Structure formats: C-alpha cells, structure tokens
Amino acid sequence: MPGRRLVAGLTLGVAAGEFLCVLGANGAGKSLTLHTLAGLRAPAAGRVRLAGRALGEWPRRERARRLGLLTQVSEDPFPGTVLDAVLVGRHPHVNLWNWESEADVAVARAALAACGLAGLEERAIDTLSGGERRRVALAAVLAQDPDVLLLDEPQNHLDPHHQLDVLKLLRARADSGRAVVATLHDPALAARFADQVLLLYGDGRWSCGDTATTLSAAALTEIYQVPVEEVLVGGRRLFLSD
C-alpha cells in the first residue's frame, strides 16, 4: 500500500562470521530491507555501510567483490549452460575484456559441487527444474566469493532435503568468516542455524538480537497474527501454530 511505513529507524550490524535471519509476514519488508542493504534502493534516512565505508562510495566492481545478492526470483535472460550461469559470479574478479581463467572455472565447479550440482555443468539452463535453477543461482553467488552474502528466501522451490543442505552450506560460510543475511519463512530453521534474528512487524517496528532470546513464541504470535507455541523436540526449538 503506498505510503505504508514498513521498517523505521533500523539500526543493524552484521559482523564477519555471523548468520542473521530476517523473519516477518508477507509484505512486512523483508525483501525491501535486503534490497536496501544491497544498495538497490536508497534508505529513507541514514546510511548503509560496508566495512565501515558508505555503500555508495565503493566502486561498483570492488563492491561486487565484497557483497553478493541472491534475489527472491532468479531469471536466466540468455540461453547457456549451467557452468556459464555460475561463471557470471566470477565477473567482478575478471579484468575487463578478459575471459575467465582456469582458476575461475575451478571456483565455479566447486560452487556447483557445494550446491549438489556436480555433473550438470554442461546442461542447458532451460532444461533444469525450478529447484535446480535456484541452486544454480545460489552457486553463482558462492562463486562470486563475497565477504557479505544477502539471500532473499534462498530455499524457494527447494524440497526439505535441499533446504537443509542450503542452510548448512550458509552456516558453513558464516563459520568460515563471511557475514550471511537471509530472509526465511520458517522460524524453527532460523532457531537452528542463525546467530541473530531480525523480526519485522510490518508497521515500522522491528526487533533484532541473539536468536536464543529474541526469537520467541510471543513475538511470532504478534508477527504472524496466529497463536504460536514453542516446543522442544530432540533439543531443537520448534514453533507450532493453530
């Protein structure tokens, strides 16, 4: 709705080695927040900083080496192979007018393997399933090898097995020293994998902090407008709604 204030006065910091999950109902401003952090839209007030420097002050190529974005919907505007699509992630590292090196190809192949797509390098993109395309898009961001990964619903189109694999992969990236920010729909997965959560209420309000203390049944009940109950199963936090 025009004029609606979704996120107001957001103060947020994500350090190297941290995994932050963004949770909120549909239309609460999750994608808007991620796009603002990525520099696709200007904040209404304040600044977004990357490594202590205003985002707009970074040269585009240098910024692309440090900041990667997976959008909610990934498109393949040009025909090509799976390997071609993932090599796009290496472009910030390739000098102008040069081709990708053998090292770039090796990075792309490793990213595909990490996403469970080894052996599909020569497949045409338009022959893949929706879930396979989603993992190819993620592999391209991994091949980009940025310090900060911004991921808008990385589990889109994925079955439960691959959803867990992707979150384990992102957790490993954070553990290796990257900063990871991802929007999710499942609070149980946020509780399992994230160090911090950002909760968006859709009316300008937000809360951010350690997952253990900030993510609660009471907060989720308010966000999703349904009664939510927290239970422990096998030592893991689950959130059930009526």
pLDDT tens, position by position, 39-61? 999 998 899 999 999 999 999 99
Q: What is the pLDDT of residues 157-197, one digit of tens each?
A: 899 999 999 999 999 999 999 999 999 999 999 999 999 99
pTM: 0.94
Q: What is the pLDDT of residue 3?
A: 64
Residue 156's pLDDT is 86
- Candidate from 76-90, 148-162, 192-206 with smallest mean pLDDT: 76-90
The whole-angstrom separation of Cα 143 and Cα 181 is 17
Residue 4 pLDDT class (50, 70, 90 cuts) = confident
DSSP class per residue in the chain: -TT---B-S------TT-EEEEEE-TTSSHHHHHHHHHTSS--SSS--EETTEEGGGS-HHHHHHHEEEE-SS----S--BHHHHHHGGGGGGS-TTPPPPHHHHHHHHHHHHHTT-TT-TTSBGGGS-HHHHHHHHHHHHHHH--SEEEEESTTTT--HHHHHHHHHHHHHHHHTT-EEEEE-S-HHHHHHH-SEEEEE-SSB-EEEEEHHHH--HHHHHHHHTS-EEEEEETTEEEEEE-
Domains of the chain: 19-210 (3.40.50.300)
Residues paired with residue 23 on neighbouring β-strands, in sequence order = 199
